[in-house]
Amino acid sequence: MTIELAEMQRLVREGVPLARAWGVEVLAAADGEATLRLPHHEDLLRPGGTVSGPALMGLADVAMWAALLSLTGGKDESLTSNLSITFLRPPAPRAVIAEARVIKKGRTLSYGEVLLHSEGEPAPCAHVTTSWAALPRPR
C-alpha cells in the first residue's frame, strides 16, 4: 500500500488544481502522516507581507488528503466534510510547511489535524482540524 512521493504529488496536483497552480510539493507521506510545502508566491501574500489565509487553508486541505491517501495506497475514498483553521501568528513571506496527521481513519468518517509553520520557523502559524466523509462512489 506504499506509494511513491512523486506519484503522491501527481495525485494531489491532479485532484486539486490550486495545488498545481501553487506548485505544492509533497515532502513525505506515509502511515497516515504527510508533510507538504507551499513555495513562496508573491500573489499569495496579503498587504503587510503575510501569506493569505485562503492559501493556508488550501495547503492544509491537500496535506490531510495526502495523509489519508498514504493509508489507502493512493486510493481516493473520502471528501472534506469540515475544516477548521485557527491562525496563531502571521506567517512570514516565505514557503509554508504543513504537517498533517490522521487521528482516526473510520469507515464513514475520518479525522485529523495539520500544523502549519513558515519554513525554518518552528512556531506554528496555524492549526487545522478536519473531518472527511467516505465518498458515496468513486470520483
Which residues here bind a copy of itself, judged by CB under 8 A? 14-18, 21, 43-48, 52-55, 57-58, 61, 79-89, 103-104, 106, 108-109, 111, 113, 123-124, 127, 129, 131, 133-134, 139
Q: Under a CB-based contact definition with an 8 Å cutoff, are residues 27 and 19 in contact?
A: no
Residue with Cβ nearer a copy of itself (2 or 49): 49
Minimum Å distance from CB 2 to a copy of itself?
23
> What type of residue is 49?
G
Minimum Å distance from CB 43 to a copy of itself?
5
| Residue found by looking up cell 481513519 in the block | 105
Q: In the chain, how many H helices and how many E strands? A: 3, 6
Minimum Å distance from CB 87 to a copy of itself?
6
Q: Can you state the angle between helices 53-72 and 5-15, rounded to 10 degrees?
A: 130
